[in-house]
A and B are shown apart, each in its own frame.
Chain A
């Protein structure tokens, strides 16, 4: 039940609401649980209508480096 779905912020509706594209389905989501502001193009995790975290793109790139290490070792 702690299922959270990754989505892409595609529209800022108001201070506490954004539109998220989840595999082609657009759905409004509440941003009250997030301190940092969101921009169009951010990847986020959506859980029961609330955004619970924003993807850290720098970290995602770091992850790929770790993969390269595993693949090449």
Chain B
């Protein structure tokens, strides 16, 4: 038995919220563009067909919320350089396998003999290292706060000479700030990611209404959860106000998960991070703190400067990631670049904007 999620998929409730959303949209009387920054939101709302239920004045835009999609080619290249030059076994999440590096993905490298093992979580990687002390292992850790705090717990407690972590961790709130500062993006509110928020809480979004007068709603992932988030944002628009509405209170506390936050703070330092096709965004990442450098693959191996390419010819992942273009506007979409043959990172993960668009024939914006 699991949490009785059925009630969060209740048709009567969905219909009732949609009616409310339509009333509010009429009262607002203009287009509203809402950005979410969560791959799971994109996947789940597409799977439930929620865009098709919303009035056409409401646009839901996918921002850079898929950690697999935003990881840079340089990260893949460096991990492969370590594997090639130090005979290291790479362990990582299945989603990372086909993320394009500059020359090849982990999956392609596996084909030429590089030892790459797909695991469910970091504990499996540690178990492999414990069982094979004669071999060297690296865990390629990608993720936002939700995933990086799990890695952080192991950074603190794991002491194995044959195990290291390559951290490619990104932070959501500072990325949201950079998105608001871009004048080439047009949107009026944020649907904040539910599971990142279980860790960081609703509090870190407070600066968004305070400093930018921008509405925020934290939302969960069932159809009722997502629609309630949209409803909360529309209420703010209609009242001409901005605040942080937490619509996922059953799992998101205002202060977040205090123990997990302490773990993040102990294990990492805030650092600049490379986002695919978008360059280096200041203070949007977490690197392993010096105190734990024994487990940091970037310190353990002297990685030379590599020439890297994030975007292959014709790929517009950089524009897709910030919601500036839609998948259908990419000339590779569903032609050369498909879920079974991804060219851009947004087509790799089942939560990537292009992969979702291809899988669920999701029309993200009408022309």
Using a CB–CB cutoff of 8 Å, the interface residues on chain A facing chain B are: 1-8, 21-24, 30, 32-35, 43, 45, 47-50, 52-53, 55-56, 59-60, 62-64, 66-67, 70-71, 73
Cα A72 to Cα B150 with chains together (Å): 42
Cα A62 to Cα B246 with chains together (Å): 13
The prevalent SS among residues of A at the interface is mixed
Other A-B pairs beyond A2-B38, A56-B251, 17, CB < 8 Å: A1-B66, A1-B351, A2-B193, A4-B198, A6-B2, A6-B3, A24-B1, A30-B123, A32-B153, A33-B153, A34-B259, A47-B146, A49-B121, A55-B3, A59-B249, A67-B13, A70-B13
In whole Å, how far is A13's beta carbon from the nearest beta carbon of chain B? 14
The prevalent SS among residues of B at the interface is helix
Using a CB–CB cutoff of 8 Å, the interface residues on chain B facing chain A are: 1-3, 5, 7, 12-13, 16-17, 20, 38-40, 66-68, 93, 95, 120-124, 142-144, 146-147, 149-150, 153, 157, 193, 195-196, 198-199, 224, 228, 231, 249-253, 257-260, 263, 349, 351
Cα A35 to Cα B63 with chains together (Å): 32
Cα A48 to Cα B126 with chains together (Å): 13
Considering the complex, give the chain B residue whose CB is closest to the CB of A53. Answer: B198
In whole Å, how far is A60's beta carbon from the nearest beta carbon of chain B? 4
A67 proximity list for chain B (CB < 8 A): 13, 224
Considering the complex, give the chain B residue whose CB is closest to the CB of A32. Answer: B153
A33 proximity list for chain B (CB < 8 A): 149-150, 153, 257, 259-260, 263
In whole Å, how far is A62's beta carbon from the nearest beta carbon of chain B? 7
In whole Å, how far is A36's beta carbon from the nearest beta carbon of chain B? 8
**CB within 8 Å for A47 and B147 given contacts A1-B93, A1-B95, A33-B259:** yes
Q: Is the CB of A55 within 8 A of B146?
A: no
In whole Å, how far is B27's beta carbon from the nearest beta carbon of chain A? 14
Q: Is the CB of A3 within 8 A of B40?
A: yes
Considering the complex, give the chain A residue whose CB is closest to the CB of B193. Answer: A2
Considering the complex, give the chain B residue whose CB is closest to the CB of A5. Answer: B2
